[in-house]
Amino acid sequence: MKDSAYLARCHKRLKEWGAPLQDWYCVGVMDTEEDSGGSFTCELCGCSRVRFVHEMSHKQYFEDVSVGCICAGIMEGSILAAKERERLIKNRARRRSNFVRRKWKENRRGEYRLKYKGDWILIYGSDQGRYEVSYDGKSVRQYKGKPITNFLSAIYAAFDLVDPPIRGQRL
């Protein structure tokens, strides 16, 4: 990759949008392979093979821009910061794939449990075919904004509960 040409291309695109060239900050990183196994096209450089998406925000711009690691680094002025987030999201993706392989124990009432960091995660179903997940005094009935209607989604929801997605005001 020719860094200066790449940088110029990114800046050109931002100018075309009437968007600021710098001082963007990241509000979230996500793994596009979490559910669908799909990849994402970077909104800034057009690279179509982005797995980890950095959501970039700017006080003077009307919408967030979703980009890959290097573009995120250009927008915020720190490739190191973007690479550090990339490292965190990759580690979380690895923990998630380990987590979904673990074996849950079923009890007589049809509840499933898994010991995690000394506490039990509980998954139980309702009559309406909905699942609820609880851990450490917290419970969720939704996964990615939708009711949980199958056991696999319940496991994903359990992971989000014990190892929350990487989001925040400024990352």
What is each CA distance from 16 to 34, 91, 148, 154, 161, in whole angstroms? 32, 35, 42, 43, 40
Q: How far is the CB of 45 from Zn ion (least distance, A)?
A: 3
Q: How far is the CB of 53 from Zn ion (least distance, A)?
A: 10
Query: In terms of CB distance, is 73 or 154 closer to Zn ion?
Result: 73
Query: In terms of CB distance, is 78 or 107 closer to Zn ion?
Result: 78
Cα–Cα distance for residue pair 65/24, rounded to 1 Å: 10
Query: In terms of CB distance, is 89 or 148 closer to Zn ion?
Result: 89
Structure tokens at 78: 């720190």
Interacting residues toward Zn ion by CB under 5 A: 42, 44-45, 47, 67-68, 71
Q: How far is the CB of 70 from Zn ion (least distance, A)?
A: 6
Q: How far is the CB of 111 from Zn ion (least distance, A)?
A: 45
**71, 14 contact by CB (below 8 A):** no
Structure tokens at 100: 């979904």
In the beta sheet, which residues pair with residue 79?
A: none
Query: In terms of CB distance, is 68 or 132 closer to Zn ion?
Result: 68
In the beta sheet, which residues pair with residue 146?
A: 143
